[in-house]
Amino acid sequence: MELTFLGTSAGTPTKARNVTGLALQHGKPKHWYLIDCGEGTQQQLLRTRYSVMQLQAIFITHVHGDHTFGLPGLLTSASMNGRSEPLFLIAPRPVRTFVEAALGNTDSSLSFELKFIDSEAEDFAWEDNAFKVTATALSHRVSCRAFSFEETNLERQLRQDKLLADGIEAGPAWGKLQQGVDVVLENGTLLRSDDYTTITRSPRKLVIGGDNDKPELLEEACKDAQVLIHEATYTQEIADRVGPWPQHSSAANVARFAESMQVPNLVLTHFSSRYQFNPNAYPHIGEVESEARGIYRGNLYLARDFETYRLDKGANLVNVTSP
Amino acid sequence: MELTFLGTSAGTPTKARNVTGLALQHGKPKHWYLIDCGEGTQQQLLRTRYSVMQLQAIFITHVHGDHTFGLPGLLTSASMNGRSEPLFLIAPRPVRTFVEAALGNTDSSLSFELKFIDSEAEDFAWEDNAFKVTATALSHRVSCRAFSFEETNLERQLRQDKLLADGIEAGPAWGKLQQGVDVVLENGTLLRSDDYTTITRSPRKLVIGGDNDKPELLEEACKDAQVLIHEATYTQEIADRVGPWPQHSSAANVARFAESMQVPNLVLTHFSSRYQFNPNAYPHIGEVESEARGIYRGNLYLARDFETYRLDKGANLVNVTSP
């Protein structure tokens, strides 16, 4: 399972960092998922191995432009490239209005079906053959959600001893049972996959936050998560100077929550455009990092554009960015 | 007077070329003008010396997304940076609807006044203290305009002999007359700037086309223009293969027109995303260039992203891109 950060700047882009976009790919299908789509996301994707042709679903945390303005271009480019597969757009309802107005006023149409799903519906949940996705309401200037991606359909190991003991010889039935499919034999016997297979590990779960000044709202979602990806727009000092109105988190704020929950991996992103990664620049992103590291004892990363992280089946998160 | 190409790809961006955007700056004021604003234009600007804070007016040739989808992000970034100066948006009316829907559905507002002007109004003309801008209807799948930028307020030379002969001594009146301002002396005498100054050169004029399959529509506009900037989406061979429906020009098509009009400088842009500048790539942009060069005998350029061209007062157009 891999994550590639397409943009890590809050509000406005910088020369080195685009506005928010995150690609998530499960190891199993070729499909991948996009979480948020700031302007320029399609251009960032051209520098990765991800193609809009294989994109399965787009999740939008909230309506703000630095999370949504890339949608019309990404969708029409997929169309110009001849995409025919339906695409899910899982977002607050005004995002649908925005996209429809963008297409409708620019002589644009899509070659594929855009399946809009309201991410803010009370009973929201979405799943495909790789993930079950749920949403958690956050605290921001506008309605905003975190999305929790939890693996489904984990790989099964056949209980060969039990199969042979029950007189079921190796054959096509074994393959189906291993895929989680129940089988009815010619003699009418029902074999349940759950009875003849075992799942040897826990599902991986990632919680991907939107903009939010109350990380503690993610307590329930983070209980069984191995990774929390959360905004840390600035240090506490800057947060205090800016005041509460933008409703963003400081690094300290998020670190305190992640430490209290013992989330094993924390990735911070969505840094104010004032921060730079250039070692001689001020203010330097190192200030955000030190603040978080002083509080959170787990595996901490500060995301940069085009960095790729791999979450292995043992739930270790490693930066695997190719140089 | 300088031009910087912010995007030279048609329809969809490539790794090396963004969708359409062109910055025009007159030598005189700090103000500059943006012609078309595809997605990612604000990001491209971060790599130039142009700032959205000094932008005077945006001209949109037509509604298509590769010319308009950068507007919401550019405008909201200018706002987040604290712009207060009004900004002109000169565009077809649906662009206004698109921009208003983008802002209205994403909790966005602007810190400055957006002065919308319908570029397709019958009597359209716009001017400031540097340029007079007029529009010419083109032939495309949707209503589309070329914009002609003609210099106004050319620098004047004082006719000192005549001033002295008429008994007008050097003083503040001389300065005003040189700036084109008429002066009333204390004794009530009216001095007309036109009588006491001369303009020693012709105004420079650039014609900047939108998408268009009939360059000959620009005959009138090009009569006294020194520069034509026009799309050449592909070679004639590809144009024939694609068929007429996209309503784009081939290089041959534009070159033939520019040659017939004896336009001294021709800059081609808006190349199909299939074309590459990498010397080993196929199809190579050199095919478009050869086709144009075989027909047009003037000063020909094929624009690349981030190239800057200077048009001097003698109307010579030179590539002055810094390496």
Q: What is the pLDDT of residues A38-47, one digit of tens each?
A: 999 999 999 9
Same domain, yes or no, for A208 and A236?
yes
Interface test with B, best of A77, A99, A140, A248 (most B CBs within 10 A): A77
Same domain, yes or no, for B89 and B164?
no
Under the banding of pLDDT at 50, 70 and 90, the label for residue B323 is confident
Under the banding of pLDDT at 50, 70 and 90, the label for residue B98 is very high
Contact residues, chain A, for B63 at CB < 8 Å: 105-107
B29: pLDDT strictly greater than 70: no
Q: pLDDT averaged over chain B?
A: 96
Annotated binding site of A: 62, 64, 66-67, 140, 211, 270
Same domain, yes or no, for B87 and B179?
no
Domain that holds residue A172: 157-198
Residue ranges of chain A whose pLDDT lies below 70 = 28-29
Same domain, yes or no, for A123 and A171?
no
Provide the sign of the torsion angle of the four alpha carbons A31, A36, A42, A46, taken in this order.
negative
Q: Which residue has the higher pLDDT, B323 or B182?
A: B182
Task: Provide the CATH number for the domain around residue B208.
Answer: 3.60.15.10
Contact residues, chain A, for B39 at CB < 8 Å: 39-40, 42-43, 69-70, 72-73
Mark which of A145, A165, A198 sits at the end of a domain: A198
B289: pLDDT strictly greater than 90: yes
Q: In this structure, which long-range contacts are made by residues A95-98, counting pairs with CB atoms below 8 Å and at least 24 apart in sequence? A: A95/A60, A95/A63, A95/A68, A95/A71, A95/B105, A95/B106, A97/B101, A97/B105, A98/A63, A98/A68, A98/A71, A98/B101, A98/B102, A98/B105, A98/B106
- Three-state secondary structure string covering B124-171: CCEECCCEEEEEEECCCCCCCEEEEEEECCCCCEECHHHHHHCCCCCC
Distance (Å) from the C-alpha of residue A61 to the closest C-alpha of chain B? 12
Mark which of B198, B231, B266 sits at the end of a domain: B198
Provide the sign of the torsion angle of the four alpha carbons A59, B6, B69, A248, taken in this order.
positive
Same domain, yes or no, for B150 and B296?
yes
Using the beta-carbon criterion (under 8 Å), do A141 and B107 form an inter-chain contact?
Answer: yes
Q: What is the pLDDT of residues B197-241, one digit of tens each?
A: 999 999 999 999 999 999 999 999 999 999 999 999 999 999 999
Report whether B62 belongs to an annotated binding site.
yes
Report whether B31 belongs to an annotated binding site.
no
Same domain, yes or no, for B194 and B217?
no
Same domain, yes or no, for B20 and B147?
yes
B93: pLDDT strictly greater than 70: yes
Contact residues, chain A, for B98 at CB < 8 Å: 101-102, 105-106
Using the beta-carbon criterion (under 8 Å), do A77 and B101 form an inter-chain contact?
Answer: no
- A66 carries an active-site annotation: yes
Mark which of B172, B198, B224 sits at the end of a domain: B198
Q: Which ipTM value was assigned to this complex?
A: 0.94
Domains of chain B: total: 2
Same domain, yes or no, for B167 and B238?
no
pLDDT value, residue B28: 66
Q: Which of B96, B62, B246 is nearest to A101 (CA)?
A: B96
Same domain, yes or no, for B138 and B213?
yes
Same domain, yes or no, for A180 and A301?
no
Same domain, yes or no, for A269 and A173?
no
Chain A nearest-CA residue for B94: A105
Same domain, yes or no, for A194 and A171?
yes
